[in-house]
Chains A and B, each alone.
Chain A
Amino acid sequence: METLIHGEFWTLKELFVLPNEYIVWSIQIVMYPFMTGLVAGAFVLSSLYHVFGVKQLKDIARFALVFSFSLLFAAPIPLLLHLQQPFRALNVILTPHFTSAIAAFSVVFFTYAAIVAGELWFLYRKHLIETYQMYKGKEKKSLWDSLMVILFGALTLGAMDLSEKALHKDEKAIKFLAALGIPVAAFLHGYVGFIFGSVKANALWMTPLMPVIFIVSAIVSGVALCVLTYIITLEIRKFLAAGKAKRAEAHVKIPQIDSADLSVIQLSVRYLVIFLVFAISLELLDLIFRGYTAVKSWDILRSVIYKNDFVPVFVLQYGIGDALPLLLFLLPGFSMRRALIGTICVLFGVFMMRWNVVIGGQAFSLTFAGFMHYQLPIIPHDIETLKEGLMGIIGVFIAPFCFFWVVNKIFPVFVKKAAVAGGS
């Protein structure tokens, strides 16, 4: 349909809305800060071990770093799906117009990517070399083996030194990059907050608190996702090993989720709670401040927040996303299952927060006298409703796990302790 304006399909207008106004930034723009938030948060979790030396987090730290790297590939996907002219995306790099908050995205993003990739390389250098040598040493090489020789040879970048001194240097480099990565990760996400916070035309978005709120909630979501995926991966490994043991009818050792794992998770959750409390305080501060100062836009914001969007804001975001997990984490008798449910709630809550910012920010008209209601396209009937509908979100959700599967082949998360640097 050549006459349908972008956004018209999922926007319902109520009362006085300007003719050209639609919910132009739809679901993929909800996904975009959500995904970058996960990247940044996962990285911060891994840095807790590398920089601050929280020893118990060692295993999950390595996991978090690899996962952050996989998420990194997925982060720009929502942006590409959102663009009306995705094939021109490179224009942002060709002619960046730096007064725009979006223009620096590629710079910030690639800086951050370089840091994560660098840290990952140092962390797995030993493993890469050993794998390379293992394949190279094979007497009869299959085509696959030869390919692996090339791949791992290239990944070592020719640095084959495995002396004690070199490994020690690796550790230093990891620590340095992890430390450098924290402000950059915070910047990456604070910057996403700035993209919204600096839109002066939008009464809900425009607040200098926006970048801070985004950073903290990013950490919350990243930690939650790491804990969640960590638990699930442990379970899957256990399950697979059990299957193997059965088939072989031999005494393959089944990795048990033991108390050590539980304490790792409990510790991560403790950090999660700290950041969560911080995030809730900031969001409430923003809300209270708006209510107290009650400038011109407050009338319409109030009716959006307390009336039209009551369920997504207070029930889904604050209730299920904040209060419920806090209860689950803080009540005595912490268990793996509670951690699992709690982190799922937290992730959902952060997603709802992004939703309430992006969609909620467009829920009222510039006239302050009308509302726009968003209806997520479920069943796609054209490319637009496919990209910016339920299918689009599902795709973006699945992508990082696919990347993780691939990345994990090269940088295995669950390796023998000695194979990676920082194993002391």
Chain B
Amino acid sequence: MTRRDFLKNSALGVGGATAAMLGLQIVNPKELFAAVAEEKGKTRWAFLVDTYKCVGCGMCVKACKTENEIPWEANASRTWVERYVITKDGKRYADSPKAARDGFTNSKIDLGEGHEVEVKAEDIDKAFFVPKLCNQCEDPACVQACPVGATYQVPDGVVLIDRKWCIGCGYCIMACPYGVRFFNPVTHTAEKCTFCYHRISQGLMPACVDACAFGARKIGNLKDPEDPVTKIIKTERVGVLKSDFGTKPQVFYIGLDEEVK
């Protein structure tokens, strides 16, 4: 080996070692927590649904399925719309056929197992639509339940799933009081709405918000007092779903009815 070769090789060796060390650099927990705290101070995503504005067209569901690549024919969806019908004689109906992917186009109510019931308009006391999605809970039951930490909450409040780490036990699906989770039929891992995290973190709106022609769906940052959505949530009368589970849901509803399950 010539002197020159030796120098070259050792330089390579040192360089390689440094590169390896850089790659393996241990995260300083203090810095990490500081970064998380900073992010937490800046952003908290929240959703606002105005049920008065929803007409049950299902455009949001279509957009969501396309954007998030949930098979079109699969009987599950990250978001869905429910229809509630309460008749004059006190009967209560609710349905969400195919997660309302095709919208509610007639007055037949799906009773499951292939049965339907036709309710005449004049028999109805009240009827309305309620869009649903993951509540990105402040104290998420799903995160608590995941045995491997594949479901986790990011500092800005959104709950995400690591598809590469999920073992597919389904405990999170059982734990979520809102039934928003299911197994993705393609990846065979837990699946749910992420507020389109890949979009909102790039400054875009979630697909469903963009798709809703009636402005029934809005997203906002609770940490920003100037955010119009935050202003509504702070100053108007809004409700959340199933607050008694203690998960502190962050999807707020205008015009929430007692009937809504």
Contacts of A25 in B (CB 8 A): 170, 174
**Those of A198-212 within 8 Å (CB) of chain B:** 199-202
Alpha-carbon distance between A80 and B136 when the two chains are bound, in angstroms = 30
Residues A15 and B111 in contact, CB atoms below 8 Å apart: yes
Contacts of A19 in B (CB 8 A): 75-77, 80, 96, 98-99
Alpha-carbon distance between A333 and B155 when the two chains are bound, in angstroms = 69
Q: Mark B178-202, 1 if CB is under 8 A from A, else 0.
A: 1111110110110000000000000
Contacts of A84 in B (CB 8 A): 166-170, 183, 188-189
Contacts of A6 in B (CB 8 A): 170, 182-183, 185, 188
Q: Is A390 an interface residue (CB 8 A)?
A: no
Q: Is A5 an interface residue (CB 8 A)?
A: yes
Please list 9 pairs of residues, one from A and one from B, whose beta carbons are closer than 8 Å in the complex, sorted by A's number: A3-B71, A24-B173, A24-B183, A85-B168, A88-B148, A95-B165, A100-B171, A200-B177, A202-B174
Q: Is A245 an interface residue (CB 8 A)?
A: no
Give the total of A residues in contact with B, Cβ under 8 Å.
Answer: 51
Residues of A within 8 A of B (CB): 1-8, 12-22, 24-25, 82-86, 88-89, 91-92, 94-97, 99-103, 105, 195, 199-202, 365-370
A-B interface pairs (CB < 8 A), number: 159
| Of the residues A14, A89, A95, A366, contact of B112 by C-beta under 8 Å | A14
Contacts of B189 in A (CB 8 A): 84-85
Q: Is B175 an interface residue (CB 8 A)?
A: yes
Residues A85 and B166 in contact, CB atoms below 8 Å apart: yes
Binding stretch for chain A, among B139-147, B221-229, B231-239: B139-147
Residues B141 and A367 in contact, CB atoms below 8 Å apart: no
Give the 4 A-B CB pairs with smallest separation, nearest first.
Answer: A84-B168, A367-B261, A97-B149, A102-B147
Q: Is B240 an interface residue (CB 8 A)?
A: no
Tell me whether chain B's interface is mostly helix, strand or loop, or mixed. loop
Q: A4-B185, A83-B169, A97-B148 known; A199 and B76 CB under 8 Å?
A: no
Q: Is B59 an interface residue (CB 8 A)?
A: no
Residues A200 and B141 in contact, CB atoms below 8 Å apart: yes
Q: A3-B74, A16-B95, A84-B168 known; A366 and B178 CB under 8 Å?
A: yes
Residue of B nearest to A7 (CB): B183
Residue of B nearest to A79 (CB): B169
Residue of B nearest to A17 (CB): B112
Residues of B within 8 A of A (CB): 71-77, 80, 92-96, 98-99, 111-113, 132, 141, 143-150, 165-171, 173-183, 185-186, 188-189, 245-246, 261
Residue of B nearest to A12 (CB): B113
Alpha-carbon distance between A310 and B113 when the two chains are bound, in angstroms = 21
Contacts of B80 in A (CB 8 A): 18-20
Alpha-carbon distance between A369 and B178 when the two chains are bound, in angstroms = 14
Residues B167 and A85 in contact, CB atoms below 8 Å apart: yes
Contacts of A22 in B (CB 8 A): 182
Contacts of A367 in B (CB 8 A): 94, 179, 261
| Of the residues A86, A92, A199, contact of B174 by C-beta under 8 Å | A199
Alpha-carbon distance between A386 and B99 when the two chains are bound, in angstroms = 29
Contacts of A100 in B (CB 8 A): 144-147, 171
Min C-beta distance of A107 to chain B, whole Å: 11
Residues B141 and A99 in contact, CB atoms below 8 Å apart: no
Count chain B CB atoms within 10 A of each CB in A19, A88, A97 and give the residue with the most.
Answer: A19
Min C-beta distance of B21 to chain A, whole Å: 24
| Of the residues A14, A94, A369, contact of B113 by C-beta under 8 Å | A14
Min C-beta distance of A23 to chain B, whole Å: 10
Alpha-carbon distance between A329 and B219 when the two chains are bound, in angstroms = 65
Contacts of B174 in A (CB 8 A): 24-25, 199, 201-202
Residues B147 and A20 in contact, CB atoms below 8 Å apart: no
Min C-beta distance of A183 to chain B, whole Å: 23
Q: A3-B73, A85-B188, A95-B148 known; A16 and B167 CB under 8 Å?
A: no
Contacts of A83 in B (CB 8 A): 167-169
| Of the residues B95, B144, B171, B182, contact of A20 by C-beta under 8 Å | B182
Contacts of A13 in B (CB 8 A): 112-113
Alpha-carbon distance between A196 and B95 when the two chains are bound, in angstroms = 28
Residue of A nearest to B143 (CB): A99
Min C-beta distance of B93 to chain A, whole Å: 8
Contacts of A88 in B (CB 8 A): 148, 165-168
Residue of B nearest to A14 (CB): B112
| Of the residues B73, B112, B147, B171, contact of A370 by C-beta under 8 Å | B112
Residue of B nearest to A94 (CB): B148
Min C-beta distance of B194 to chain A, whole Å: 15
Residues A199 and B99 in contact, CB atoms below 8 Å apart: no
Contacts of B166 in A (CB 8 A): 84-85, 88
Alpha-carbon distance between A24 and B190 when the two chains are bound, in angstroms = 11
Residues A20 and B188 in contact, CB atoms below 8 Å apart: no
Residues A20 and B177 in contact, CB atoms below 8 Å apart: no
Min C-beta distance of B165 to chain A, whole Å: 6
Count chain A CB atoms within 10 A of each CB in B72, B75, B147, B179 and give the residue with the most.
Answer: B147
Contacts of B182 in A (CB 8 A): 5-6, 20, 22, 24
Contacts of A365 in B (CB 8 A): 179
Residues A20 and B77 in contact, CB atoms below 8 Å apart: yes
Residues A201 and B245 in contact, CB atoms below 8 Å apart: yes
Residues A20 and B74 in contact, CB atoms below 8 Å apart: no
* Other A-B pairs, 19, CB within 8 Å; known A8-B75, A12-B113, A84-B167: A7-B183, A19-B99, A20-B180, A82-B169, A83-B167, A84-B168, A86-B167, A88-B167, A91-B150, A95-B149, A97-B149, A100-B145, A101-B147, A102-B171, A200-B177, A201-B141, A201-B175, A366-B179, A369-B261
Contacts of A12 in B (CB 8 A): 112-113
Residue of B nearest to A106 (CB): B147
Contacts of B246 in A (CB 8 A): 200
